[in-house]
Amino acid sequence: MPLNDCIYEFLQHLSSQKRYSPNTIKSYQNDLTDFRDFIEQQYPDAGLPDIRLPLMKSWLASLKARNMESRSINRKMSAIRSFYKFLLRMNYVNSDPALSLTTLRTKKSLPSFVEERQMQRLQERSFFPKEFKGDTWYLIILLLYVTGLRVSELTGLRESDIDLAGANIKVLGKGNKERIVPVKKEILTLLEDYLSVVKKETGIVNPHLFTGKNGKPLSPASVYKIVKTTLSEVTTIRKKSPHVLRHTFATHLSNHGAAINAIKELLGHSSLAATQVYTHTSISRLKEIYKQAHPKS
């Protein structure tokens, strides 16, 4: 089977079976296209059975020669590993050379997050514009901060996912996995008021929680723009994205003593390793407080 056809089938699998977000699928597509282009340019006669470990290492060497950062190369290797697991499962290949790829060392950096005093300003309705736009922006920022949702999870929320009596929302996360996230009743009441008053008065009929004035669901790009514009008003951190609010949610929980396993479940992480970084963030914050407060520090 041609490599290009395999890539197409794999991307379809990520979309229909794994239910990955469009942004995640686009990232896989870019990485695998890069790999395919290298094969076609450097080894035009190579078929799928000819792609073995030495050839993969040649591709990785070409990425290093382009001065690509180790983190980006590791991401591409991760895409290749996932791709070859799929090929093996589909019996398109007899072995998986990607298993022998060695992850490169990277500089460990703590996730960016917004300080609590800065987030306090964003929890005030008066901070945002008036009417429909302001209501939408306010609730998007508030919900991202109090739930730690991914942007794709937020844009996928529907009215039926709100459980006022149970004080929670149902979230469809990565890999089509559902989880329940607790939310204060006051916030859920704000959401229901938003739906019953703002959306109904504009004549919007759509099951999605957040929509534009045109009645269509807000796109991840629209949410990114809202978050970036809003965070620019309160913080000077370089990254200003919905994922930063996810980091902020987890960091503030950790700083206030939440158990790492609880944070893992709230974030919808599949393994504890992905959540451990927030423990380091908490320790970093404690060191900062110690230096500021202790006379012998």
- The contacts of residue 177 (CB under 8 Å, 6+ apart) are 268
Catalytic residues: 150, 174, 243, 246, 269, 278
Q: Positive or negative CA dihedral for 154, 160, 161, 166? A: positive
> Contact, 125 vs 134, CB < 8 A?
yes
Which helix or strand (DSSP H or E) is residue 181 part of? strand 178-182
Pairwise CA distance, residues 179 & 171, whole Å? 5
In this structure, the number of other CB atoms found within 10 A of the CB of residue 69 comes to 13
Element (H, E) at 163: strand 162-163
The angle at the Cα of 44, spanning 39 to 45, to the nearest 5 degrees, equals 115
